[in-house]
Homo-oligomer: A and B are copies of this chain.
Amino acid sequence: MFRNTVRVYFLRVERNFSQNRQNSNVAFLGCGQMGARMVNNLIKHGKKPKIYDVVPSAIQNIQGATPCSTPEETVEGADIIITMLPNGQIVKDTIMGDKGVLKNIRKNALLLDCSTTGPQVARKLNEAAQAANVRFLDAPVSGGVVGAQAGTLCFMVGGNEKDCKEVEPVLLHMGSKVHFCGASGAGQITKLCNNLILGVTMIGTCEAMNLGIKLGLDPKLLTDVVNVSTGRSWSSDTYNPVPGVMENVPAARDYEGGFSCELIAKDLGLAGDAALSINAPVPLTALTHQIFRTLMTYNLGKKDFSVVYKYFKGEALKNN
């Protein structure tokens, strides 16, 4: 009897809590390539977010949101504040700066940073938020512009697990997966670890494909064998870097769209910084970083990162 009472009580609390979150006010700062698409998915799911971008034209065409002219105005009265900004410095300025939003966020609100900043910045933001009685989660995403558009982003979350559970329904308006990764910064670390494997594996795959094809192998045949062998990876079976092997990948459209060299170079730089902070050796990550920076030097920074195949082939730098 007592047990049942307790159970009903908790069910009621959960229901109220859940209804509360359904009606929560959301503020969204940073409506660029990623942010604008995430905002549109919030709107599709019935939210009416207050939105802001430093470039006013970025928010002009978003229907169903409340455009704001300053960050302070945007976060006023919000329960959940989401930031999606280009880098850690901009995130710090926006949140912790002299005119930072922390000064205007209401107590106990939930501040969620979806930018990729690295763990050190995330932890600093968390400390500043705690000092202002604001709850903070680092929640970088994977899936890129395509995932943001389709609402299939994957969120990697660090902070308090209860806070993560609380905000999960809102995140699932914009994505299809929420991974709780551990204490503050753990979302950032998880993203960097995944992306360094991605960069290294893609370049290894490009080296092998270029070598094999130059030595006479059929690209599709080599891919087929690798994909059922120990060389199998997402880079070969889902995002093959060789034109003609797969449809609907950047390699099929001269490496336009997708995950740009400059974005993966940014993540690899952050992974290197994180590794340096604990003196962990990351030799292949470092070399991979240098290769993407070389491509950026030759104006290929906006191309998809699988363009490394074309670079090894000797065709990437000719017209730059």
Contact = CB atoms under 8 A, between A and B. Distances in A.
A194 B230 contact: yes
B190 A212 contact: yes
B183 A222 contact: no
Q: Give the bracket for the number of chain A residues in contact with chain B.
A: 35 or more
Nearest to A232: B234
B204 A189 contact: no
Interface stretch (A18-26, A91-99, A272-280): A272-280
Given A200-B203, A207-B200, A217-B186, A229 B281 contact: no
A215 B119 contact: yes
Contacts of A214: 278, 280
B231 A197 contact: yes
Contacts of A235: 230, 233
A154 B228 CA distance: 10
A74 interface: no
B186 A216 contact: yes
Nearest to A201: B201
A287 B280 contact: no
A55 interface: no
Interface in A237-281: 238-239, 271, 274-275, 278, 280-281
A280 to B, nearest CB: 5
Nearest to A154: B229
Contacts of A190: 212, 217, 221-222, 225
B239 A217 contact: no
A318 to B, nearest CB: 15
A231 B281 contact: no
A228 B197 contact: no
Main secondary structure of the interface of A (DSSP, over half): helix
A5 B257 CA distance: 57
B278 A215 contact: yes
Interface stretch (A63-71, A102-110, A129-137, A174-182): A174-182
A244 to B, nearest CB: 17
A194 B288 contact: no
Nearest to A285: B207
A208 interface: yes
Given A182-B216, A208-B193, A216-B186, A231 B201 contact: yes
Given A119-B215, A195-B231, A284 B200 contact: yes
A143 to B, nearest CB: 9
Nearest to A180: B221
A126 interface: no
Given A190-B222, A217-B190, A211 B283 contact: no
The 7 closest A-B pairs by CB, nearest first: A200-B204, A197-B231, A233-B233, A193-B208, A194-B231, A193-B212, A207-B282
25 contacts: A142-B229, A179-B221, A190-B212, A192-B211, A193-B208, A193-B209, A193-B212, A193-B217, A193-B222, A193-B226, A193-B231, A195-B230, A196-B211, A197-B204, A197-B226, A197-B231, A200-B201, A204-B284, A207-B282, A207-B284, A211-B278, A230-B234, A230-B239, A233-B233, A233-B235
